[in-house]
């Protein structure tokens, strides 16, 4: 069977000899984007090793310069060039998604793939060999807890990239908010203004401090807190305003900053977004970020508090570590918390920050593809794009209005049937049982009822985005005309 130049080049790019190092094999896996590398000796196939096999070898103590041929792996399943498509298909299973196709001499002439994208997720982490290498270093050196070089490096690199003086790594985005509010002195009897449309953690962090969250409605243009309504909610008890940069689009900060009340930026969903040219998180008194597994930058779980104020940073550092005096070990003058980030998690974070530009470029390209495909679909409202803002599209989110012909939840169900995941907007916090005071915020409620987040992982290919677009376009229904009066 003749092999085309393209197929031959692809096979060569993902093939290594048994004497290749684990690092070289990882580079081949990264090139091929298949999660596997072919072991070839004397032009003949000798085995297939997955990234999981390499990960287990590293965790088992093998070094990055170990031979790939010595890595244990399950027996490889192969196909023959004369097999029918049905016979090749029968070789696949959940763990076996890559099957080399061999000729009579045992040479690889093609690679059969089971499409792992039968179901398109809303989000998934973008991890590669750098993350694996840094985490393996933590395991091999024993620095797996909250001490270690990666925590310090993560904080330093984050402060540099987000243009702040201080960055303090913590255990998750919610604890980041909690510590930020405590550092500002928020406590019982105080009020903190928060947007009605946000994840519940924003309000919970206020409640953890013993303070009262006061809700303000959203702007229909940015989907974020309405500055005029926030200003109207200020009372003598107001000690802070939390501005959430929802789904990656910055809130309008200048009017909030002019109120003379400390502004806490909840940038959990907006890594890399910019407000009038400056990174979000850097403009208020203090900013917070989340590194949950679905975020733009992930450490699995994790968070960061950023500020230009040395006193706030020092307060956060003390509170995250049991309230310990920084100059006297095991002396705890204040009530603190165990909100530390581990070196393992920080190792992931460093690798993620090193490729942040590439992640943001991919996010921007996904947004362009979605906008090109959906901008003329009646009833689909595209995400905010204010001229003073850079939207990083944490989740590419749209509104599904009546003109589409299907309600938001109907569209979600239809997409799910076609293997496309989606997610509704957050239920507004004022509608949650623990915060329901009978208040109504119409803009937030309307956004929550019509908002839909589409698959947004940077691992999505243009063809996969096209698949989502085609599914949405095909599902539109022309609404029936209203009955005559």
Would residue 121 count as lying in a domain? no
Sequence-ordered strand ranges (E) for 362-457: 380-381, 389-390, 396-400, 423-424, 451-454
Cβ atoms within 10 A of the Cβ of 334, count?
12
**Up-side HSE of residue 364: CA atoms within 13 Å toward CB?**
11
Work out how many domains the chain is built from and give that number: 3
Domain co-membership, 100 together with 139: no
Q: Do residues 289 and 169 share a domain?
A: yes
> For the segment 17-41, what is each residue's pLDDT rounded down to a tens digit?
999 999 999 999 988 877 899 999 9
Same domain, yes or no: 142 and 196: yes
Asked whether residue 459 falls in the same domain as residue 373, the answer is yes
Spell out the per-residue pLDDT of the chain, length 485, in tens: 556 677 788 899 999 999 999 999 999 998 887 789 999 999 899 999 998 899 889 988 999 999 999 999 988 899 998 998 778 878 877 678 789 999 999 999 988 876 545 689 999 999 999 999 999 999 999 999 999 899 999 999 999 999 999 999 999 999 999 999 999 999 999 999 999 999 999 999 999 999 999 999 999 999 999 999 999 999 999 999 999 999 999 999 999 999 999 999 999 999 999 999 999 999 999 999 999 999 999 999 999 999 999 999 999 999 999 999 999 999 999 999 999 999 999 999 999 999 999 999 999 999 999 999 999 999 999 999 999 999 999 999 999 999 999 999 999 999 999 899 999 999 999 999 999 999 999 999 999 999 999 999 999 999 899 999 999 999 998 766 666 66
How many C-beta atoms lie closer than 10 Å to residue 45's C-beta? 22
CATH number at residue 92: 3.10.580.10
**pTM, whole model, 2 decimals?**
0.78
Describe the strand order of the beta sheet including 263-266 as a list of residue ranges: 166-170, 303-307, 286-290, 263-266, 238-244, 191-195, 212-216
Q: What's the CA angle centered on 366, arms 121 and 176, to 5 degrees? A: 70
> Within 13 A of 312's CA, how many CA atoms are on the CB side?
28
pLDDT digits (tens, 9 = 90+) for 318-369: 999 999 999 999 999 999 999 999 999 999 999 999 999 999 999 999 999 9
What's the first-to-final CA gap in the chain, in angstroms? 71
Give CA 480 to chain center in angstroms.
39
Phi-psi group of 95: left, alpha or beta (phi > 0 → left; psi -120 to 50 → alpha; rest → beta): alpha
Residues 349 and 361 in one domain: no
| Domain final position from 308, 323, 354 | 354
* CATH number of the structural domain spanning residue 333: 3.40.640.10
Instruction: State the DSSP H helix or E strand holding residue 238, giving kind and residue range, or none if neither.
Output: strand 238-244
Strands 98-102 and 108-113: antiparallel
Q: Which of 113, 146, 172 is the last residue of a domain?
A: 113
Cβ atoms of 292 and 172 closer than 8 Å: yes
């Amino acid at each position: 069977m003749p092999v085309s130049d393209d197929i031959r080049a692809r096979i060569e790019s993902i093939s290594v000899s048994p004497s290749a190092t684990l690092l070289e094999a990882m580079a081949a896996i990264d090139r091929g984007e298949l999660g596997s590398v072919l072991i070839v000796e004397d032009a003949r196939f000798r085995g297939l090793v997955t990234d999981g096999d390499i990960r287990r070898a590293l965790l088992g103590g093998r070094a990055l310069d170990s031979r790939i041929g010595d890595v244990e792996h399950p027996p490889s399943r192969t196909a023959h060039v004369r097999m029918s498509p049905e016979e090749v298909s029968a070789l696949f299973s959940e763990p076996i998604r890559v099957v080399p196709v061999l000729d009579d001499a045992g040479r690889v002439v093609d690679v059969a793939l089971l499409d792992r994208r039968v179901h398109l997720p809303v989000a998934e982490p973008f991890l590669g060999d750098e993350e694996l290498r840094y985490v393996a270093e933590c395991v091999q050196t024993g620095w797996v807890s909250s001490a270690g070089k990666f925590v310090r490096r993560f904080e330093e690199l984050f402060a540099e990239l987000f243009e702040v003086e201080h960055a303090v790594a913590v255990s998750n985005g919610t604890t980041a908010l909690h510590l930020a509010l405590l550092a500002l002195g928020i406590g019982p009897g105080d009020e903190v203004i928060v947007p009605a449309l946000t994840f519940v953690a924003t309000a919970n962090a206020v409640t953890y401090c013993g303070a009262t969250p006061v809700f303000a409605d959203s702007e229909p243009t940015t989907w974020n807190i309405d500055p005029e309504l926030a200003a109207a909610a200020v009372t003598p008890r107001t000690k802070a305003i939390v501005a959430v940069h929802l789904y990656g689009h910055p809130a309008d900060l200048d009017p909030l900053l002019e109120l003379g009340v400390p502004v806490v930026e909840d940038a959990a969903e907006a890594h890399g977004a910019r407000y009038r040219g400056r990174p979000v998180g850097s403009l208020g008194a203090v900013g917070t970020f989340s590194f949950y597994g679905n975020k733009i930058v992930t450490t699995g779980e994790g968070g960061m508090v950023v500020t230009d104020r040395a006193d706030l940073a020092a307060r956060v550092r003390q509170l995250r570590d049991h309230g310990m005096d920084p100059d006297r070990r095991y002396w705890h003058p204040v009530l603190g918390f165990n909100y530390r980030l581990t070196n393992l998690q920080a190792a992931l974070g460093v690798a993620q920050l090193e490729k942040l530009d590439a992640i943001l470029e991919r996010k921007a390209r996904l947004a362009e593809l979605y906008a090109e495909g959906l901008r003329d679909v009646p009833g689909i409202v595209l995400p905010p794009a204010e001229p003073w803002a850079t939207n990083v599209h944490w989740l590419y989110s749209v509104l599904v209005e009546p003109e589409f012909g299907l309600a938001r939840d109907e569209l979600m169900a239809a997409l799910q049937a076609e293997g496309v995941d989606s997610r509704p907007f957050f239920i507004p916090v004022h509608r949650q049982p623990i915060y329901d005071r009978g208040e109504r915020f119409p803009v937030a409620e309307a956004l929550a009822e019509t908002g839909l987040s589409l698959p947004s992982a940077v691992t999505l290919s243009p063809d996969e985005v096209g698949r989502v677009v085609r599914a949405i376009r095909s599902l539109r229904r022309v609404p029936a005309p209203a009955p005559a009066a």
